[in-house]
Structure 1
Amino acid sequence: MKITGHCKIQGVGKERRNMDYRRVIEKLNPIDDIFFRKMAENKSFCEEILREFLEDPGLEVLENHAQHSITSIERRSVILDALCRLKDGRVINVEIQNDDNVNHQKRVRYYSSMLTTNMIEKGVSFNELPDICIIYVCNFDIFNKNRVKYEIKRVVDGFDIELDNGLREIYICANIRDGSSLSELMRVFTEDDSYSRNFPIVSDIKYRLKYSEEGEDMSEVLKQLYEEGREEGRKQGIQNGFISALISLVKDGILSIADAASRANMSVESFEKYMQSMK
């Protein structure tokens, strides 16, 4: 179940609305980014899933950050779902993706470049740059080969030579069931009432957020998203009304398409497409 800022819980009293938020939370799972980010605040949770993702039972997490923001004035900023620094110095970014509507590999490339730039200071030797691993957990088979885990390797074409530049790229498909322990973890990630003794920390936190008082924090998050969604919808309505007015002026011959597009802060091509959609 995907939750966005447009969570439609309206037209009811405060007590009823709180109850509805709880019902929504009970349908959320770790595969939902809002739920995952809350769970990722727990270091033990991060440690348990990373040990499975990286097949490293001795892995230790020194510090973890949920919703880690990397800002850039001149470039696109990013918010990482979970960022962990391991005892051995590696830095791990776990991203949750439910929608298959973006260029996933380029997104991973951008996230890794932003993370790399954020970690190195001017004058520091490249030898001191820590190893980075991007783990991309998606709720679909990203390469359509019916595997729960894909790892990208850098090789020299035509030779049996594997290169290592310090970046590790892993894709995990939460919808694949192959009998492996990773697949079992992904079942806990995706199914409402699925828990596992092999992943006690994940299972325990998931249950407590769904059904105990700890879930009140999630209710507050949903309330915030709902209010943000209402405001976003109001602003979008104003913008749509403004563009509709510009279209009317174009139809009446008062403005050219180029002038109207400029006033709407759109390209001529985008404005023309908008006119077609209005028809």
Structure 2
Amino acid sequence: MYQKKYEELKFTDDFMFCKILMGNKDICKEIIELLLGVKVKNIVYLEEQKPIEITSDGKGIRLDVYLEDGNTVYDLEMQTTISKDIAKRSRYYQGMIDLNLISRGAAYSELKESYIVFICLEDLFKKNRSLYIFRNICVEDRELILGDGATRVFVNASGSRDGLTAAQTAFLDYVAGKEPTDDLTTKLSEEVQRARDKEEWRNEYMTLLQRDREKYEEGKVEGRAEGKAEGKAEALIALVTDGLLDIDIAAKRLNKSPEELLEIINNNRK
């Protein structure tokens, strides 16, 4: 089982993505404004990889970078692999975020505007666009927007750069693996380099890595001894939970959908 060394991590790796955006408000703010064309006043982080577990059966979600700015909430997700289930996962995330806001005492009329943003390396919709922005509209009159305050955005780093600003192009090129070419991407590259020198983060990552290696090896032994897949599943679930393996990759290896694997993970948290 190949696992990246800490010094090999890039901005698009989940561990690094979360650490950098949760540790630098200015960069996080700049990325949100760049992708969404909104003005962010004051970022308030709610929790690193925030868990939302509010249903009666304990099922929930774990968000990468979740934050508030006044009457708006943002969830930023790094997605290095694509599956057909991502759109439905975004729907599930939206529902859970709304339930979380309501559970904190808000009336329906007080629900905050929300943006769920998946930053993808591949094109989910195969239309060669770099930005796909979805809001609820009327089928009979497409100029009529429902106005429920919910927006879901899928960023495609491999799409056409037509219509994008120079800054958006530079950011998506950087996400796609190219060298930094402007102020923001240079700052991101520098943050990655600085992160690689942080012993606390390195130790955290290595601890997670070692724990998951042990679980993976235990899983292989159990799988051979019992002729079952439980050990392998446990090891892969640990990797997903610690942000070291994308849920889509793990689900594929277990012949499950990401939603099925997410349900297993949340049941294990009970």
TM-score range, shorter chain: 0.7 to 0.9
**Deviations 1:28-73 (Å, cap 9, x if unpaired)?**
32222111011122211211100101112x3223312431122246
2:11 corresponds to? 30
**Deviations 1:3-43 (Å, cap 9, x if unpaired)?**
xx9627xxxxxxxxxxx643x2xxx3222211101112221
Count of matched residue pairs:
223
1:76 corresponds to? 59
Specify the SS of the correspondent of 1:226.
helix
**How far does residue 148 in structure 1 lie from its aligned partner after superposition?**
0.7
1:45 corresponds to? 27
C-alpha distance 208-177 of structure 1, shift in aligned 2 (>3 A):
farther
2:192 corresponds to? 206
Specify the SS of the correspondent of 1:230.
helix
> Does the alignment pair 1:101 with 2:93?
no
**How far does residue 199 in structure 1 lie from its aligned partner after superposition?**
4.8
Return the index of the structure with the highest Cα Rg. 1
Compare 38-47 and 59-68 and name the one that shifted more.
Answer: 59-68
1:169 to 142, 148, 152: 152
2:227 corresponds to? 244
1:197 to 169, 183, 189: 183
Unpaired stretches in structure 1, ≥5 consecutive residues? 9-19, 246-269, 271-279
**Deviations 1:194-216 (Å, cap 9, x if unpaired)?**
35225554343233224xx33x3
**How far does residue 242 in structure 1 lie from its aligned partner after superposition?**
4.5
Q: Alpha carbon RMSD of aligned pairs, Å?
A: 2.7
**How far does residue 111 in structure 1 lie from its aligned partner after superposition?**
1.1
User: Which letter maps to 2:37?
Assistant: E
> Is 1:108–1:134's contact at 8 Å kept on the other side of the alignment?
yes
> Is 1:176–1:183's contact at 8 Å kept on the other side of the alignment?
no
1:133 corresponds to? 115
The two structures have a TM-score, normalised by structure 1, of 0.70
2:68 corresponds to? 85
**Aligned counterparts of 1:122 and 1:35: Cα–Cα separation in 2:** 30
**Aligned counterparts of 2:138 and 2:67: Cα–Cα separation in 1:** 30
**Deviations 1:209-260 (Å, cap 9, x if unpaired)?**
24xx33x344223312321222221331243135428xxxxxxxxxxxxxxx
Specify the SS of the correspondent of 1:31.
coil
User: Which letter maps to 1:101?
Assistant: S
1:7 corresponds to? 3
User: Which letter maps to 1:223?
Assistant: M
Identity of matched residues, %? 22
